[in-house]
Amino acid sequence: MPDTPFIHNLNAVNARIQRACHQFQVDPACVSLLAVSKTFSAQHVREAAQAGLRDFGENYVQEGIDKMTALPDLRGQLRWHFIGPLQSNKTKDVAHHFDWIHSIEREKIAQRLSDQRPKESAPLQACVQVNVSGESSKSGALPAEVEALCLFAATLPGLSLRGLMAIPEPTPDMAQQRAQFRALVQLYEKTKATLMREHASAGARFDVLSMGMSADLESAIAETPPRTQLIVRVGTALFGSRS
């Protein structure tokens, strides 16, 4: 591998993941790296793909579609994840172009994504976003709403409900980072148990926690329970700071 700045960053991120997995006894095979390419160019995505990354996260629908269109030779090799807030007038574009959505926060959006998913495509892989701090200014379903929303989304044929996502309050304090992730994990476990009871096949598919970013991925790994897939969503630590 050539020693480019990107490769250097990627090696550092992978080393952080490996070290945290070792320290907190998490199987590294259970951790996947989602490269958050928002604000970076299609050429940055190409370089990351050449280094072996396959999963890319975008916050703006059109920006993501523009990058997919600019990389026709990589079509079918990459998985595109929509991770930003989604208005109902943009659900069709997400249903048609993306492989994953991490940011479902209400029934109407889930219903539209399912209805608009093309029949020839695999179901859209989906996480419900949780507002773990419960502040009204923040995105995501409130913790008290999450179970009902998941039960609803789990029945939709165009979606495959995979788990929960959160963006906690930024804090440099690792104990506070871990407490916020632990709250998400507890909600995840409660929701999984309910899904298992009501809808065993949907419960079995519900195995993903989307949590941890550049500044707190070690805390996310520390709180990951066994038999769960962790998706860490990393932008800055891979691509540099966003202007």
Could you list the residues that contact ligand PLP (CB under 6 A)? 36, 38, 59, 83, 167, 213-215, 233-237
Give 117 or 233: the residue with its C-beta nearer to ligand PLP: 233
CB of 100 to ligand PLP, least distance (A): 12
Pair 14, 36: CB distance under 8 Å: no
Tokens 């991925």 correspond to 217
The rounded radius of gyration (Å) of the Cα atoms in the chain is 17
Residue 52 or 170 with smaller CB distance to ligand PLP: 170
If the CB atoms of residues 78 and 234 are measured against ligand PLP, the closer one turns out to be 234
Angle between helices 42-50 and 61-70 (to 10 degrees): 60
**CA 141, CA 146: separation in Å to the nearest integer?**
6
CB of 57 to ligand PLP, least distance (A): 6
Report how far residue 102's alpha carbon sits from residue 121's, in angstroms, rounded to the nearest whole number.
18
Residue 171 Cβ, how far from ligand PLP at the closest point, in Å?
13
| Least distance between ligand PLP and beta carbon 166 (Å) | 9
| Residue 195 vs 232, nearer CB to ligand PLP | 232
CA distance 115 to 195: 22
